[in-house]
Chain A
Amino acid sequence: MAKYLLLKHYRGAPKGVNDVPMDQWTPQEVEDHIRYMNDFAARLEGTGEYVDGQALSPEGTFVRFDGEGRPPVTDGPFAETKDLIAGWMIIDVESYDRALALAGELSAAPGAGGEPIHEWLELRPLMGTPPTVTE
């Protein structure tokens, strides 16, 4: 078994095929999209492959240390940074091929006009635990 992270981007991924911003969809289209995502997660729980899924607010703040005894410095959000993560799902699957198939399915979530949005999802392996037998 191997765990993979499916990353959804607000920004930074290549443009999907049916690339209408969500705020221009009808309420029904939004609802259908969300139901598709929820059904997908529920089905993966049923197959014993679901680990976690969360959506992220697009609004974020950058924070950094500013020296001993001083409050941290905050900045942003930076509209020009290329990458903005919208959310993730973590799956635990038997093979890379299975991970690809599931990512493809998630990318087919319906959007404007009830058509699949064909969005680009990023698939990243999680770093595992070292095997017991190495040499």
Chain B
Amino acid sequence: MTGADELLLRELTPAVIGVLVRRGVDFATAEDAVQEALLQAALSWPDGRPADPRGWLVTVAWRKFLDAHRSEVSRRAREQRVEDEPPPGPAETVDDTLALFFLCAHPSLTPASAVALTLRAVGGLTTRQIAAAYLVPEATMAQRISRAKRTVADVRFDRPGDPATVRRVLYLVFNEGYTGDVDLAAEAIRLTRELAGRARDEETAGLLALMLLHHARRPARTRGDGILVPLPEQDRSRWDTALIAEGVGILQAALARDRLGEFQAQAAIAALHADAPRAEETDWPQIVGWYDELLRITGSPVVALNRAVAVGEADGAAAGLAALSDVDPGLPRYAAASAHLHEKAGDLAAAARLYADAARSAPTVPERRHLTGQAARVGQALRT
């Protein structure tokens, strides 16, 4: 199975599920049948990709559905209706991908269930791949997916949904990072492109721009040994300029329509970082302006924390510490931000202590390593 074949199968998945649903198969059963067809494709396509891949998948998935249906002990009245294969008609060419997006991000699902269902039904990933990406056993992920399917069993498939719920799910997938053999960040970008092509709204464009701009910096974000490289120290020649240009273009087109939202504001901040050829050329005053917008839109304490750091860069450490005094000290990464601002203000003793505190409470191993290194560096400066 080549990578191109695998990608094509994943791209075709939502459309094929849509065809079966339009033929009267319920979503959960259709999704299972299409997964079976994907497995069969993985076995037989290496001998030669069929001339009409989508038609092939529809035919095989339909047969899988009929087989499963016939083998059920309780034959329902519906069976007679589906025995006769419906003639291909207009239904076969309708694109139901958007409807699937809405279904898989339905508000009745928990975030984790929505993520799992989206990756499988819209993304075409196998349960095994999703389980590996989220570091849980396959049996656990299988249960999560089948429960999610039961939860949305009665949701009308063709009801318009809320793109905001879909965006939240895709953002969660993107933010999961780069564990496992499936690149969730790349997968989130692929699915967000699909969504942006179908739901033309500024915030989806903003989310896509945000993802592209962050993805562009990925080669510079970690050293070979897994140590995090903070933004100011990143080797900017390793940023992907094509991705940055694309992200900035998408963002500018969205901002021009003057319907600002949180993802556009976040993307604007990412774009300003990407714009600076060197860290010291970063336009911090403009970044603070975008944080003000973001704070107005979301009221999020995490945004307030990041804003305080930006204020420290734009107006000096004292102003940053003043902005920090309004922020909840219980937030994750508060100590790290406070340490940075204290060091900037020249209070090395407080900075060393705060970096050590931040390292102890770091939520991830790479951050703990980085902060421990900062504490060691400042501690050494204190002693010399």
A118-132 toward B: CB 8 Å interface, digit per residue (1/0)?
000000010111111
Provided the pairs A48-B147, A127-B365 are in contact, do residues A133 and B214 lie with their beta carbons within 8 angstroms?
yes
Q: Which of B139, B145, B363 has the most CB of A within 10 A?
A: B363
Q: Is B80 on the interface with A (CB-CB < 8 A)?
A: no
Interface hits, A25-83 → B, CB 8 Å: 45-52
For A130, list chain B residues within 8 Å (CB).
Answer: 177, 228, 364, 366-367
> Is there an interface contact between A94 and B112, defined as CB atoms closer than 8 Å?
yes
What residue in chain A is nearest B333 (Cβ atoms)?
Answer: A134
Residues of A bordering B, CB below 8 Å: 1, 3, 45-52, 92, 94, 125, 127-135
> Is there an interface contact between A50 and B140, defined as CB atoms closer than 8 Å?
yes
For B143, list chain A residues within 8 Å (CB).
Answer: 45-48
> Is there an interface contact between A92 and B364, defined as CB atoms closer than 8 Å?
no
> Is there an interface contact between A51 and B111, defined as CB atoms closer than 8 Å?
no
Return A127 CB to nearest CB of chain B, in Å: 5
Q: Is B137 on the interface with A (CB-CB < 8 A)?
A: yes
For B228, list chain A residues within 8 Å (CB).
Answer: 130
Q: Report the separation of the CA atoms of residues A46 and B147 in the bound assembly, to the nearest whole angstrom.
A: 9
> Is there an interface contact between A50 and B177, defined as CB atoms closer than 8 Å?
no
Q: Is B179 on the interface with A (CB-CB < 8 A)?
A: yes
The interface residues of chain A, by DSSP majority, are classed as loop
> Is there an interface contact between A128 and B137, defined as CB atoms closer than 8 Å?
no
Return A40 CB to nearest CB of chain B, in Å: 14
For A52, list chain B residues within 8 Å (CB).
Answer: 137
What residue in chain B is nearest A95 (Cβ atoms)?
Answer: B110
Provided the pairs A45-B140, A130-B366 are in contact, do residues A135 and B112 lie with their beta carbons within 8 angstroms?
no
> Is there an interface contact between B368 and A132, defined as CB atoms closer than 8 Å?
no
Q: Which of A1, A92, A128 has the most CB of B within 10 A?
A: A1
Q: Report the separation of the CA atoms of residues A127 and B364 in the bound assembly, to the nearest whole angstrom.
A: 5
> Is there an interface contact between B140 and A135, defined as CB atoms closer than 8 Å?
no
Q: Which of B137, B141, B368 has the most CB of A within 10 A?
A: B137
For B368, list chain A residues within 8 Å (CB).
Answer: 127
For A45, list chain B residues within 8 Å (CB).
Answer: 137, 139-140, 143
Q: Is B120 on the interface with A (CB-CB < 8 A)?
A: no
Q: Report the separation of the CA atoms of residues A127 and B368 in the bound assembly, to the nearest whole angstrom.
A: 10
> Is there an interface contact between B269 and A135, defined as CB atoms closer than 8 Å?
yes
Q: 5 closest pairs, A vs B, by CB?
A: A48-B144, A48-B143, A1-B112, A129-B177, A130-B364
B95-137 toward A: CB 8 Å interface, digit per residue (1/0)?
0000000000000001111001000000000000000001111
Q: Report the separation of the CA atoms of residues A125 and B143 in the bound assembly, to the nearest whole angstrom.
A: 23
Select one of A48, A125, A129 contacting B176, CB under 8 A. Answer: A129
> Is there an interface contact between A1 and B177, defined as CB atoms closer than 8 Å?
no
Return B263 CB to nearest CB of chain A, in Å: 10
Q: Is B59 on the interface with A (CB-CB < 8 A)?
A: no
Interface hits, B338-370 → A, CB 8 Å: 362-368
Q: Which of B143, B147, B306 has the most CB of A within 10 A?
A: B143
Select one of B137, B177, B362 contacting A132, CB under 8 A. Answer: B177
For A92, list chain B residues within 8 Å (CB).
Answer: 112, 134, 136, 140
5 additional A-B pairs beyond A48-B141, A92-B134, beta carbons within 8 Å, are A45-B137, A46-B143, A48-B140, A48-B144, A133-B266
For A134, list chain B residues within 8 Å (CB).
Answer: 231
Return B273 CB to nearest CB of chain A, in Å: 7
